[in-house]
């Protein structure tokens, strides 16, 4: 039996798949950015439908705000949000009433509430603010093989402390896709985590689902309270207007 052992082992090793070699992190981000610019060049405006549920879970009370809005991503300009529908704790309200409550929540929880209220950004804006901070590793997102890239901000800011980007593993001649991002930030004394899943539309990786959690700690009457602020945002019905 021993003379047969070596050929059998050689056959088994030959049949094993070769592990994909991890690319250079900076080259991967540059490749993604290059393909984004190519797909984005003919675009004048991107419109999306946003459904958001924002929750403020504080001492003795909870506020749940639900909105349906239209987002306009303008090239070279800010993102505009037009609120079409608003609910507070399950009751429909006028948009003016929603703004009044949000003003109070903003005063009470500062940067933490502004974090869950902020409109989503296109991923090229995010990736332009970060650089690789470690070694690429192999991972999976929803069963899809990906490259996991740890990142850090190019400059110190109160929005990004560190993060992770997950890109698809492209085959020959294919462009990498951004499938997920996770950003950890420290807005003032608070801590925040934002996870975004993306979908490919017209060659662009656009936000599909965003989950944000912010932990705020406040001292009131000599007692320390912890308030959890959270947001679940779903985006879809994308319309892309060419130049």
Q: Which residue is listed with tokens 């050929």?
A: 7
Encode pLDDT of 97-143 as tens digits: 999 999 999 998 888 898 899 888 899 989 999 999 999 999 999 99
Residue 17 in domain: no
Q: What is the pLDDT of residue 188?
A: 65
What pLDDT, on the 0 to 100 scale, is given for residue 14?
40
Task: Give the percent of the chain with pLDDT over 90.
Answer: 67
Residues in the chain: 243
C-alpha closest to that of 115 among 217, 229, 225: 229
Q: What is the CATH number of the domain that holds 102?
A: 2.50.20
Closest residue by Cα to residue 228 from 194, 190, 196: 190
With respect to residue 126, please indicate whether it lies within any of the assigned structural domains: yes
Q: Is 40 within the bounds of a domain?
A: yes
pTM of this structure: 0.87
How many domains in the chain?
1
Domain annotation covers residue 9 = no
- Has residue 1 been placed in a domain? no
Res 1 pLDDT > 60: no
Examine residue 5 and state whether it is found in any structural domain, yes or no. no
For residue 11, the model assigns a pLDDT of: 44
Domain that residue 81 falls in? 22-242
7 domain-assigned: no
């Amino acid at each position: 039996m021993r003379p047969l052992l070596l050929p059998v082992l050689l056959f088994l090793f030959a049949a094993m798949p070769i592990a994909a070699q991890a690319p250079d992190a900076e080259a991967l981000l540059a490749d993604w950015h290059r393909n984004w610019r190519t797909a984005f060049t003919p675009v004048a405006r991107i419109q999306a439908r946003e459904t958001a549920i924002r929750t403020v879970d504080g001492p003795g009370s909870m506020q749940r705000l639900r909105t349906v809005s239209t987002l306009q991503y303008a090239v070279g300009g800010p993102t505009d949000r037009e609120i079409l529908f608003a609910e507070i704790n399950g009751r429909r309200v006028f948009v003016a009433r929603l703004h009044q409550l949000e003003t109070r929540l903003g005063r009470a929880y500062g940067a933490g509430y502004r974090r869950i209220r902020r409109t989503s950004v296109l991923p090229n804006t995010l990736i332009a603010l970060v650089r690789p901070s470690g070694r690429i590793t192999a991972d999976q997102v929803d069963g899809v093989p990906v490259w996991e890239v740890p990142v850090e901000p190019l400059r110190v800011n109160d929005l990004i402390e560190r993060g992770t980007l997950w890109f698809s593993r492209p085959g020959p001649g294919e462009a990498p896709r951004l499938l997920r991002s996770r950003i950890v930030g420290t807005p003032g004394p608070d801590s925040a985590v934002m996870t975004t899943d993306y979908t490919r539309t017209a060659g662009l990786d656009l936000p599909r689902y965003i989950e944000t959690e912010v932990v705020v700690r406040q001292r009131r009457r000599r007692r320390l309270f912890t308030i959890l602020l959270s947001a679940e945002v779903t985006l879809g019905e994308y319309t892309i207007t060419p130049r």
